[in-house]
Amino acid sequence: MLQRTVDRRRFLMGMGGLGVASLMSLPAQASLSAPVRKLSLHHLHTGEKVTARFWEEGRYLKEGLSTFNHVMRDFRRNEVHDIDPKLFDQLFLLQHRLGKAGEIQIISGYRSPHTNAMLRKNGSGVAKKSYHMKGQAIDLRLPGVPLAQVRKAALQLKVGGVGYYPKSNFVHLDTGPVRSWG
Instruction: Convert the pLDDT of each residue in 86-130 to its tens digit.
Output: 999 999 999 999 999 899 999 999 999 999 999 989 876 788 889
Nearest alpha carbon to residue 142 among 181, 175, 171, 108 = 171
* pLDDT of 37 over the 60 cut: yes
For the chain, which residues make up each domain, given as ranges?
24-181
Whole-angstrom distance, CA of residue 24 vs CA of residue 77: 37
* pLDDT of 10 over the 80 cut: no
Strands 161-165 and 179-181, how do they pair? parallel
Whole-angstrom distance, CA of residue 132 vs CA of residue 93: 20
- Phi first, then psi, for residue 171 (nearest 5°) are -115, 140
Average pLDDT over residues 61-78: 98
Task: Please report which confidence band the pLDDT of residue 52 belongs to, taking 50, 70 and 90 as the band edges.
Answer: very high
Average pLDDT over residues 13-22: 43
Kind plus residue range of the DSSP H or E element containing 137: strand 137-141
At 126 the pLDDT is 84
Average pLDDT over residues 58-64: 97
* pLDDT of 32 over the 80 cut: no
Per-residue pLDDT tens over the stretch 127-156: 888 999 999 999 999 999 999 999 999 999
Whole-angstrom distance, CA of residue 82 vs CA of residue 69: 6
At 112 the pLDDT is 96
More confident residue, 28 or 33: 33
Of the options 3.30.1380.10, 3.60.15.10, 3.40.30.120, 3.40.50.720, the CATH number for the domain spanning 24-181: 3.30.1380.10
**Inter-residue contact 49 to 41 (CB < 8 Å):** yes
Per-residue pLDDT tens over the stretch 150-172: 999 999 999 999 999 999 999 99
CB atoms within 10 A of CB 52: 18
Per-residue pLDDT tens over the stretch 18-29: 444 444 444 444
At 31 the pLDDT is 61
